[in-house]
A and B are shown apart, each in its own frame.
Chain A
């Protein structure tokens, strides 16, 4: 009764405090949600029916723009235990207002990239000036099967749409990409490699490495990608820390002001029988109400911000697991508690006689 009445007595200040906590909560959740975009890319890239990824050594990329596909394929399939070497020629290609990495693959290799039931419209690649795109890109760009897209001076026809989750958002026949790029001979940006016996993956990896190529298991490649995001995680972590600290300061300032402003009231409460613990609890309860409101507002802001982001950038990913909401609420609660602690202790220890004389 009293905590609610007290915070409602200063509606504007309470609203600003609630909003400040809410912005902190939303900032935390949206940033965490946006980091899921990086994980989504890493998951997609490694979600292929293969065991290894083989990349050229860096000097080969500079000199030749990739690997000679036929020669490296033969070399890789000569490695004991290797059953398939799957070349991919990757090249940037602008669709739906954003640059996508086209996966140039052999049409017959499609089975390694998607299950048959992942095609939700049209057909898979056969050859020529055609492409398969994923459902996310189709939705973002408003693309449909049969539609044509002009790039590189050519007209490409969308022949199929695959459910999102496949490695790339755009697939084309590898020979088509080579021809469009006017490459001499078939080249590959990297290879996926299947091993006939999963127990031989490490041995195959080591054998390929001896040939001077960069090779990773799928798990290793996922972690290489993830570790390349560490700097971004640091930036995001810093922003989250600043947001949490600002929340803490807002609560500290708000509650401190409330306590100073109500010095006399605290004296009255003690005069009519309130104990130190009751005063302490009263101040924490007021801060808790502000925090609860802030958490609620933060969740609403998060929903609004996420909706807006995905509307403006439909190819972005912003996944926020429920546990993150609990984490954000806990963070706000802890920040609030810490922010309210000093003012609450100050209030609890106020001399009632001096408080009653306070003007």
Chain B
């Protein structure tokens, strides 16, 4: 199977007031198209940093990220934005919906930013996550579980090749967590998109095709 996302010797060192703090130490990870990978590890081990670098939201100190065959290290900021738009969808732990927009407009925004025709796609996507009836509600009128489902709809409406999810159940109770993971699994199975999911939760992580563990900025298995 083709590799859709690959990190090579990915290294990130944060510097503040002359102090260097390594967050990632030469991470090599390849994700095949359609593969569901979970990344587990203790707090501060570099999981989120790996996700942000893989999602091209941050630039590595060393190493490179290859998305759909394109080496992001050779691209400008605009080029990385273009590559991210074309192939990557994000789901965050804190949902990160825009509070001034309705659920439908939050989903539509992802299309508008790409200059893509909106039409009924946001509504269809909200129907797929079971929130068509609540599409006109703002985030503060939705439960936390519903907000995360809207965030998943927003991430998937552009049909990205890779969905990067940063602890998507971290702020949810067990019932909502179960529902969200059922949704992620179902959509993954239906659409064939690759998923890279970060989680503390063994049960959540166990839904993946492959489990990867991290410690001190390195992959350990």
The answer to whether residues A2 and B96 also contact, given A272-B109, A273-B81 and a CB cut-off of 8 A, is no
Number of interface residues of A (CB under 8 A): 23
Q: Contact string, A1-36, partner B, CB cutoff 8 A, digits 1/0?
A: 110011011000000000000000000000000000
**Are A265 and B158 in contact (CB-based, < 8 A)?**
no
Chain A, 238-296, CB within 8 A of any chain B CB: 264-265, 267-276, 278
Residue of B nearest to A264 (CB): B96
When distances are taken between beta carbons in the complex, the residues of chain B under 8 Å from A275 are 78, 81-82, 113
For the complex, what is the distance from the CA of A6 to the CA of B113, rounded to whole Å? 16
**Are B58 and A9 in contact (CB-based, < 8 A)?**
no
For the complex, what is the distance from the CA of A14 to the CA of B57, rounded to whole Å? 32
**Are A270 and B109 in contact (CB-based, < 8 A)?**
no
| Any B CB within 8 A of the CB of A352 | yes
For the complex, what is the distance from the CA of A351 to the CA of B56, rounded to whole Å? 12
What's the nearest-Cβ distance from chain B to residue A254, in Å?
16
When distances are taken between beta carbons in the complex, the residues of chain A under 8 Å from B78 are 275-276
When distances are taken between beta carbons in the complex, the residues of chain B under 8 Å from A267 are 96
For the complex, what is the distance from the CA of A112 to the CA of B122, rounded to whole Å? 78
| Any B CB within 8 A of the CB of A353 | yes
Out of B58, B101, B112, which one reaches A352, CB within 8 Å? B58
What's the nearest-Cβ distance from chain A to residue B79, in Å?
10
**Are B58 and A271 in contact (CB-based, < 8 A)?**
no
| Any A CB within 8 A of the CB of B42 | no
| Any A CB within 8 A of the CB of B92 | yes
What's the nearest-Cβ distance from chain A to residue B36, in Å?
21
Chain B, 109-158, CB within 8 A of any chain A CB: 109-110, 112-114, 154-155, 158
| Any B CB within 8 A of the CB of A345 | no
What's the nearest-Cβ distance from chain B to residue A11, in Å?
12
| Any A CB within 8 A of the CB of B35 | no
When distances are taken between beta carbons in the complex, the residues of chain A under 8 Å from B155 are 272
Out of B81, B97, B100, which one reaches A2, CB within 8 Å? B100
For the complex, what is the distance from the CA of A267 to the CA of B77, rounded to whole Å? 15
Out of A2, A264, A272, which one reaches B90, CB within 8 Å? A272
What's the nearest-Cβ distance from chain B to residue A357, in Å?
9
With most chain B CB atoms within 10 A of its CB, the pick from A2, A268, A271, A352 is A271
For the complex, what is the distance from the CA of A223 to the CA of B78, rounded to whole Å? 58
**Are A273 and B57 in contact (CB-based, < 8 A)?**
no
What's the nearest-Cβ distance from chain A to residue B20, in Å?
17
Residue of B nearest to A4 (CB): B100
**Are B158 and A273 in contact (CB-based, < 8 A)?**
yes
**Are B99 and A278 in contact (CB-based, < 8 A)?**
no
The answer to whether residues A353 and B109 also contact, given A268-B98, A276-B77 and a CB cut-off of 8 A, is no
Listed from nearest, the 8 A-B pairs whose CB atoms lie closest are A5-B100, A273-B85, A9-B100, A268-B96, A273-B113, A275-B81, A352-B57, A271-B90
**Which positions in A face B, CB cutoff 8 Å?**
1-2, 5-6, 8-9, 264-265, 267-276, 278, 351-353, 356
> 25 A-B Cβ contacts within 8 A?
A1-B101, A2-B98, A5-B101, A6-B100, A264-B96, A265-B98, A267-B96, A268-B92, A268-B97, A268-B98, A269-B113, A271-B90, A271-B96, A272-B89, A272-B110, A272-B113, A273-B81, A273-B84, A273-B110, A276-B77, A276-B81, A352-B57, A353-B58, A356-B57, A356-B92
**Which positions in B face A, CB cutoff 8 Å?**
52, 55, 57-58, 77-78, 81-82, 84-85, 89-90, 92, 96-101, 105, 109-110, 112-114, 154-155, 158
